[in-house]
Amino acid sequence: MELSDYLLTPLYIGLFYAIAFAIRPAVTNSYTKRYFIPALSVKLIGALALGILYHTIYGGDTNNYFYHASIIYHAFGQSFSAGLHLIVTDGTMTSDIAPYVSQMAWFGPDSKEYFVIRVAAVCALLGFNTYSVTALFFAALSFSGMWAMYMTFAKIRPQAYKELATAVFFLPSVFFWGSGLLKDSLCLGALGWIFYAFYRGAIEKRNILRCLIIGLLAAKVIASMKVYILLAFVPPAALWVFNENTARIRSATVRWVAKPLLLSVGLAVALYAMSSIAAADARFNIDKIGAQSKLTATYLQGVSQSEKGSGYNIGEQDGTLGGMAKLAPQAVVVALFRPFLWEAHNPTMALSALESTFFLLFTLRIFWRVGFVKTLQAIASQPVLTLCFVFSLIFAISVGISSGNFGTLVRYKIPLMPFYLGGLYILQSLTRPATKPTRAQVVRQPQLA
């Protein structure tokens, strides 16, 4: 890090806190207010900690993103039009940007990294080309979506608002890998905004146009980097909307008649959305997903072996959907409950192993106290639980099969972690033994706006 990092970082941290305190009354209530500043703080700490780790030990993507962003920053100093063109370009080489593009390994119409570089370049312009300040901007962008996710969860199940704060903000892997100058930060924030848009617009049916715009923009952000997140989220989200709207039909007869129609419409919308999303990236066409998964896993396992990393093997892939289906149970276990404690070989893996152990013990505790059948019945009867666990399982299968080593898996799986743990906390609150509340408890019962 350079001198500017040490001089400017404290000033920008103060600026972010000043903005946070100014907007907190508008985006919190008496119950969630206490988590706003701590949640922002762990995001800012996570961004700086990741930068320090990568600059001192690992190297890698975050440094490369900033290197490319710096090229665009300096382009603005030499030619404003060339700098602006580098940010808005569709990836086509032209003469005015050629001197800068020649220095960029990640430039091109098919580059998923270049979207991150565009955002980083804008942040670099706002932060005087300082790495740590750019990372803080990424943390703030991620936090905005995470707060939208938390408020949505808390409104759905206000009785568990304390636990849900832990699920969304305070998992070490989530605020570490999901805060810095990486794809994961932008994807995690955008996923939170999509979750909010679905609930606010399609279920509450409020601010529909605004939610549509927010949802489409957030979907565009994710599709520009990791389209498979959308492919995993959209179908269960459509099912969630269908279940919520069907449950609100008061007449049992009308509900019985309308359910097949609404389900058909929901499936059609989900299939259309999935086909449109997949069309944006040929690698994720339905007939190529298996082959792409095999290719990715083989590459990452090779990296793991060459770097003596923490590789894992859940079985041989044959490049087909049927082959992926056979490996699905092992993939779910590896994504949700591994690495085990004895598989951790460095501090970051140790943190992930502790989280995985907690997930495993918490899951077993729910099944033990509630019962396997009753747990499944509760998940099926509560639309938000269906969303949380179906999305988590789909995503766990996709990343568990394709990752190939724990170092990559820790980063890849963070989008499912708030939903899985949030689902567990909501399930726990729904299945607690019924006790008669005291008058004081009734008065203190949170009603989130």
- At residue 370, the pLDDT reads 86
- At residue 435, the pLDDT reads 45
DSSP H or E segment with residue 175: helix 172-177
Q: Do residues 8 and 145 share a domain?
A: yes
Mean pLDDT across 319-331: 76
Our measurement of the distance from residue 20's CA atom to the centroid of its chain's CA atoms, rounded to an integer in Å, reads 22
Helix (H, G, I), strand (E, B) or coil at 405: strand
Amino acid identity, residue 332?
Answer: V
Q: Do residues 307 and 172 share a domain?
A: no
Q: Do residues 162 and 307 share a domain?
A: no
- Mean pLDDT of the residues in the chain: 84
Distance between CA atoms of residues 190 and 221, nearest Å? 7
Is residue 256 domain-resident? no
| Cβ partners under 8 Å of residue 36, min gap 6 | 20, 24, 27, 28, 147
Bridge partners of 405, per DSSP, are 311
Is residue 436 domain-resident? no
pLDDT of 343 strictly over 90:
no
Of 189, 211, 187, residue with least CA distance to 199? 211
Domain limit, last residue, from 159, 177, 195 = 177
Largest CA distance in the chain: 74
Is residue 71 domain-resident? yes
- At residue 304, the pLDDT reads 47
370: containing domain:
287-431
pLDDT tier for residue 348 given thresholds of 50, 70 and 90: confident
Of 402, 374, 203, residue with least CA distance to 301? 402
Distances (CA, A) of 222 to 26, 43, 95, 113, 301: 27, 20, 30, 12, 25
Domain limit, last residue, from 129, 159, 177 = 177
Q: Which two tokens stand for residue 309?
A: 């990393």
| pLDDT tens string 37-96 | 999 999 999 999 999 988 887 777 899 999 999 999 999 999 999 999 999 998 888 899
Beta strands in 6-52 (DSSP E): none
**Do 401 and 324 form a contact (C-beta atoms < 8 A)?**
yes
| pLDDT tens string 274-318 | 555 555 554 544 444 444 545 455 544 554 444 455 677 777 765
Is residue 14 domain-resident? yes
Is residue 228 domain-resident? no
Number of domains in the chain: 2
Is residue 119 domain-resident? yes
Q: Do residues 166 and 291 share a domain?
A: no
Q: Do residues 171 and 315 share a domain?
A: no
Is residue 236 domain-resident? no
Distance between CA atoms of residues 239 and 250, nearest Å? 19
- At residue 69, the pLDDT reads 96
| pLDDT tens string 354-401 | 999 999 999 999 999 888 899 999 898 899 999 999 999 999 998 888
Is residue 357 domain-resident? yes
Mean pLDDT across 3-25: 94
Domain limit, last residue, from 160, 177, 194 = 177
Percent of the chain residues past pLDDT 90, beyond the cut: 56
Q: Do residues 148 and 10 share a domain?
A: yes
| pLDDT tens string 140-177 | 999 999 999 999 999 999 999 999 999 999 999 999 99
Q: Which two tokens stand for residue 151?
A: 């408020």
- At residue 208, the pLDDT reads 93
Q: Do residues 173 and 291 share a domain?
A: no
| pLDDT tens string 237-282 | 988 988 887 777 666 665 555 556 655 665 665 555 555 555 555 4
- At residue 433, the pLDDT reads 60
**Do 127 and 133 form a contact (C-beta atoms < 8 A)?**
yes
Burial class for 129, CB neighbours closer than 10 Å (0-12, 13-18, 19+)? buried
209 — phi, psi (to 5°)? Answer: -65, -45
